[in-house]
Structure 1
C-alpha cells in the first residue's frame, strides 16, 4: 500500500529536492520515498497514536505530535504538505484545512489523500482507511476551492482489494494498471493536489502550472481533465 501511494507522490512532486515538506496523518511511509532530497521533512503524527520516533536523515527524530486543530508551526513554513488519512478523522475539516493553508508557503502545494467514498478500502475496517469519514473527489475539490486553494490535479490509487495476502500485494502494480483502465473511479484512495492562493480567483479553477506528470485542471468555465 505505502509503495503504491509513495509512487503516486513522486509522480506528482518528483523528489521535492530543496523543498520543505510536511506529512500529516499516516504519511511517514510516503515521506520515506523522498529520501534526503528535501531541505526539511517533518511528520505530524496524531497525538492519540502515542510517541512515534522517525529519523529519516540520521540527524534525530523528525516527528511532532499534533493533538488539536492548531498546528505547532509558524506561518508559511512548508513548500509541500501531504495529508494521508488525516482529513477523515478531523473534527472540523474546514478548520483543519485552514491550518494547513496557514503553514503552507505562498504558492506552495498540498495533496489531500483520503479514503474514496466509492471504493472498497473505505469499508475495510482492519485498515486505517476504513475509519473516519470517506470523501469523494468532488467533495475534496469543493473543500479545497472554498479554502483558498486552487485544484491543479487529481488521481486515484489502491485498486487492489484490501487484503494483506501475498497474492494480492505482490501484484499491486497490475491491479493499479487494470483498475485505472476498467474502473477509474473505484480506487481506494483519492488524491487531489492544490496550490495555495492568497486571494480567491474570480473564476475559480487552477491557473498555476504543475508538474508535467499530471494533467492540469482547467478553469471552472471549462471541463476539468483528470488523470486516474
Structure 2
C-alpha cells in the first residue's frame, strides 16, 4: 500500500503525468481563458496545474493538505501546507480556486468546500476535478486520482449546494485508462474528442465550475398540487362550517 502511494505521488514527475497535466490544463484554460491580474489558489494537489493557467501577472498559490505535501512539488512558486478545515487566508481573497486531489474518502467534502467558498470572492469561481463514479478510479490506477472520492453529476450538485455553491459549467476528460490516454498529448486530445462524441458522460474525470450561491443551501417550502377530490372535500368542509349553509328558503 505504501509503495502504491509513493508511485501515485510521483506520478506528475513521469512522462504520463506531464501529459495528464497538459491535457487537463487545456480544459482549465477553456473554462478560464483570461486570468490577467487575478489570484488563483490551488487546493489539495492542484499545484501542478497552476503552471498551465494564467500568465506572468497571475498570482498562484498552492495549498496542499497536511499529510500529503508531495503533490505540491509541481509548483515552482509560492506553496504552503494548510489545514483543510481552517484555511489560513482572509475571506474573499481569491478570484479563482482549483480543487484537485483534495476530496478523499476519509475527508468531509462539504466542510472542505465551505472553507474554499469562504476565501472565494463573491464573483469568483471554483473548478473541481474529480473521478467519475462510473469506473473513473479504475481507469485512473497508479495516479493520484485513484485515491480521490468519486462522484456523479447529481451527487456533485448536491454536495456543492450543501456548501452554498452552484454548479454552472461541466466538462470531462480521459475516456480511456490513463496508461493509454496519457502516452502523448496528441493521442490524449484525439481520445477525448472521440469520447465526447461517441460516449458522452463516460469520461474518467469530471470537471465542474461552481460559483457562490447564497441561498442554495436553504430549503424552500413546497406546496403540493391538490387533486380535484381533495379540493372538493375541502370546499365541502368549509361550507359546512358556514351558519345556514345548505338551507333552502
TM-score by length of 1: 0.77
Asked whether the 8 Å contact 1:15–1:37 carries over to 2, the reply is: no
Of the candidates 188, 201, 206, which is equivalent to residue 190 of structure 1? 206
1:136 aligned residue: 152
Q: Secondary structure at the match of 2:52?
A: helix
Asked whether the 8 Å contact 1:88–1:114 carries over to 2, the reply is: no
1:21 aligned residue: 40
Alignment of 1:2 with 2:18, yes or no, is no
Alignment of 1:32 with 2:32, yes or no, is no
Aligned length, in residue pairs: 200
Compare the two structures and name the one with the higher helix fraction: 2
Looking at structure 1, the residues matched to 75 and 185 of structure 2 have their Cα atoms a distance apart, in angstroms, of 27
Which protein is bigger by CA-based radius of gyration? 2
Looking at structure 1, the residues matched to 160 and 134 of structure 2 have their Cα atoms a distance apart, in angstroms, of 20
Looking at structure 2, the residues matched to 109 and 146 of structure 1 have their Cα atoms a distance apart, in angstroms, of 16
Q: Secondary structure at the match of 2:178?
A: coil
Distance change >3 Å, CA 26–CA 53, structure 1 → 2: closer
Q: Deviations over 1:67-103 (max 9, x none)?
A: 4421111111101001012123561111111101101
Of the candidates 146, 149, 162, which is equivalent to residue 162 of structure 2? 146
Unaligned runs of 5+ in 1: 205-228
2:66 aligned residue: 47
Once the two structures are superposed, the pairs formed by residues 93-108 of structure 1 within 5 Å of their partners are 93-108=109-124
Distance change >3 Å, CA 169–CA 120, structure 1 → 2: farther
Distance change >3 Å, CA 65–CA 122, structure 1 → 2: farther
Distance change >3 Å, CA 90–CA 108, structure 1 → 2: farther
Unaligned runs of 5+ in 2: 1-19, 221-249
Asked whether the 8 Å contact 1:151–1:194 carries over to 2, the reply is: yes
TM-score by length of 2: 0.71
Distance change >3 Å, CA 89–CA 25, structure 1 → 2: farther
Asked whether the 8 Å contact 1:119–1:187 carries over to 2, the reply is: no
Q: What displacement does 1:146 show? A: 2.3
Q: Secondary structure at the match of 2:98?
A: strand
Looking at structure 2, the residues matched to 78 and 136 of structure 1 have their Cα atoms a distance apart, in angstroms, of 27
Output the aligned Cα RMSD: 2.6
